[in-house]
Each structure stands twice: as structure tokens, then as C-alpha cells.
Structure 1
Amino acid sequence: MSIFSKLFGGNKTGAAAPQPDPIEHDGFRIFPAPVKEAGGHRIAARIEKEIDGEVKTHQMIRADLVASLDEATAISIAKARQMIKEQGDAIFGP
């Protein structure tokens, strides 16, 4: 592999990272998706629900950073559950 390939991402396989199985909660699907950042992992998740045959999606991103990916994943799930409990279907807007 040439130096230019290494510098410009030539060593990537092109395969997407496997998506985790969703966590079912009160008819919603939670996909934890912490974001790696310099100070740790940002709390984030995608929340989905099928309403009238259409899949509605909400992207939850919080300011919280934690060091561990496992901890970030657990907190992302907990925060998504809390948001669902507090807002229900209103999470998807009008």
C-alpha cells in the first residue's frame, strides 16, 4: 500500500459498521449510538417508532461526555427511555 493510500484512507474496507439490535421500549425502538470525541463518548441515540405505517425518527444528542463506551451506551439507553416516558409520540414533533 502506498503512503498516499495510507494518508487518504486507502486502507478502509468500505464495509459499514454493524448496527446494534434495537432496544424495544413502550413501542419505540432505541438504537444507542454514542459519539467518540476527544474527551470521551457523547451520549446519543436514535429513537424510532412506526406511526400510521410511517417510521418516525428522532436523533437524540446530549452534551454529556463519559470516558467509557459501555457507560455511554448504558446512559444513552437510559436517557432515551426517559425522553420517551416524558414526551411519548410528541418526541417526533408536530
Structure 2
Amino acid sequence: MGLFSWLFGKKNATETVTIEPIEYKGYLIYPEPQAEGGQFRIAGRICKEIDGMMQTHHFIRSDILPSRADAETFMLKKAQMFIDQTGERMFK
């Protein structure tokens, strides 16, 4: 089976992508667009350490964009606006 996978270009399903967070006002923003129908849904995580515990808020929007880079850029802007408006209340 390995020979056929090599011949037909089948990729390993366990490939992982390392995402570097963007720091904003003490929060870490992880853009993680979700592939959907040849486009990308805006998604990611907002994290912050509070009282020694790492808190995480998953951020998913209904917006779908044609490129991964556009989805990452838009997610970053929306996450920054969400942080400005909500602050630590997002973790409650």
C-alpha cells in the first residue's frame, strides 16, 4: 500500500501545522482558519493566563473567505476588536 500512496501522492493524514500566536494586550491570538468547500472559515483561539491557569476562548465566525491568508488577517482583526470590547469576561 505504501508504494501506491507514494505513486498517487496520498499525503499522511497526521500532518500537523504549528501556529505562532500573535500577542495583543496580554492575550495570545491563534488564527486557525477552517477549510470548507475550497474556501476558509474564520476561526481561531484567544488565550490568556489568569490566576496561573491558561484560559481559552474558541472564536468561530460564519464568514468564509477565498484564501487562508485573508481568513487569518480577518480573524486577527475581529479577535482584537472582541478583546477590546469584552476583555476577560469572554472566559466566564
| TM-score, with length taken from structure 1 | 0.83
Structure 1: which amino acid aligns with 2:12? K
Contact 1:42 1:62 in 2 (8 A): yes
Supply the RMSD in Å over aligned alpha carbons: 2.2
Q: Does 1:62 align with 2:64?
A: no
Name the SS of the counterpart of 2:35 in structure 1.
strand
- Identity, in percent, stands at 38
Matches within 5 A, 1:43-62: 43-62=42-61
- Runs of at least 4 residues off by over 6 Å: 3-6
**Any idea what the Cα deviations from partners look like across 1:20-45, whole Å, max 9, x if unmatched?**
21100010000000100015100111
- Structure 2 gap segments, 5+ residues each: none
Unpaired segments of 5 or more residues in structure 1? none
Letter paired with 1:40: Q
**Count, aligned residues:** 89
TM-score by length of 2: 0.84
